[in-house]
Structure 1
Amino acid sequence: MTDIGGIISEIAAEMATVEDRGTVASYIPPLAAIDPGHFGIAVIEADGACHVAGDADMAFSIQSVSKVFALTLALGKAGDALWKRVGREPSGSAFNSIVQLETESGVPRNPFINAGAIVVADMILSGHAPREAIGEILRFVRAVAEDDTIGIDEAVARGEQATGFRNIALANYMRAFGNLHHPVDHALGVYFHQCAIAMSCRQLAQAGRYLMMQGRVPGGGRIVSAARARRINALMMMCGHYDGSGEFAFRVGLPGKSGVGGGILAIAPGRASIAVWSPGLNERGNSKIGAVALERLVHRTGWSVFDPAAD
């Protein structure tokens, strides 16, 4: 039987010795102040066993990892009609690129780049005031994590609103194409606040369990259908690390979603929900040693989706 606790303790010790930890996201002031020396990891297995190491209980801004939960919620509201406004293909471009919107009539390539996530936020807004939509996202995250202490870091949300000029440009561009149905500031308010949700690795791994368990949570409650969980995982595999998604799939081989706060949620279907956090980023905006840690975890457990024979 694989000793998961021992493995992640070893990995945390190895990550503590790494000198090149990447660069924190300096364009969001509250994130620029985070110590890049932090590292946390949490693994929750299908039988409920939870293993943590490092700074696994320290809250951080999940940023774009929130797009997984927002997408799940929006699909519950709009169903497959969502795909008329957002694509399902890898972008091959930076997460905040505006280039493809010009040639593709304001329809973002996928829901995990910023433009796509802003459209998803616009869909969650349907019939709601911004505050209500933000509350709906937060309640959903708390529900899947089974933790009502999860909240929004208002300082981070304000920092994003004060510096998010490229996101403002993306939203206005899509509004010009008719692919944003609510006022730009309303959609962006929802988006900035969902990105400012603060969670620990333990909480994030808890929240990802429904994607590991074919749409269910422990106790049998269904969050989404098994088919929808499979499709969200497929999008995470193809698009979850922006223009670094192919490299992540090549090295790690798990569906994963990163955020510029340094967090990564990774799913080993049927086996585990995994969260890592290290705030230093690589040149593509993904956690530098977080990805290394996941690569080592998969190597030692055989949990890659391309190795179905693993124990």
Structure 2
Amino acid sequence: MIAVLDTNSHIPQSSPGDERPSYALHLSGCGTVSAEGLNVDTRMMCAKTVFTLIDFLWRFMREWISAYYLSSTQKDDPVYNAVKAFINQISALKIATSNFECAEYPRALMYLEMFIKENPQQFQEQLWLFMKIYARLNEPDAVHGIMATREQEPSLEELIIAHEVTGQLQDAVACYERMAQDERRGPDFYKGMVQCYLGLDQPITALRIAQGIVSERPEMAPAMQEFEAEAFWRLHMFDDLGSLLSLPDIAENMSWGVQIGRALLHFQAGRSNPLYKHLEGMRKELLDGMGTVSLEKGSYQEEYQNII
């Protein structure tokens, strides 16, 4: 029995305040097994496990064809035909998109290239996804190459990615300011803009924007907590930082800006034992993120970017 991820339900990267879509696993001949009730990390791990199994099936297909390409038994083998029929029902584009949303960028790129190889006429339509994947893989040359192959003028979103991946944050800020006039702005826009100002070492501006966003859209408060915390400790505003970190809804926030803020409050108060315990917890969390790197190609590079 083969478990298949419902390709109509993608698993996005979790962030505070984002809506959590419904996840389900379809079991052949057994209906649907819901993944509701599982935490985000468990759902992510389930999805990655399914993608690993799909990788194995593709590898089986390639090795079988390589071994029996000239053999007449290939097309008559029931195992090969069953796997082929199953694989043909899976959209490589949907797998690529789902892997991107699960932060599995090397695999997302592999399946997107596979999709374009079979559907070259859709290359221009998928340049946006190519660009986002290459940006997450920290490949500025590839991003520039994608920009050069566009047949139309790049959008502001594409310009932002190109500027951010090459470190041209001032140009990225200019694009964010132009996009700010669009009322259909989503959480990623706000987070990207505030992060850009922090990258420019302008914590006061970042803090004011974050607080303005929360004032205008209270539902964005959880998403802005990380950036507010980082701005506070960069500005040495430890009283405000302490007030922010004492809020009940930030207790479960394990983002980097919040974690550093907690460590600095322990240090400022001279609480050495809680400080060492907290730093050890942060270190363990980073190392746990590398626990599965041996299972995925390119994961060391990805996790290295997270650590630095």
Please tell me the TM-score bracket, short chain as reference. Answer: under 0.3
Q: Which has the higher contact order (CA 8 A, sep 6+)?
A: 1
Which has the larger share of helix?
2
Alignment TM-score, normalising by the size of structure 2: 0.22
Which has the larger share of strand?
1
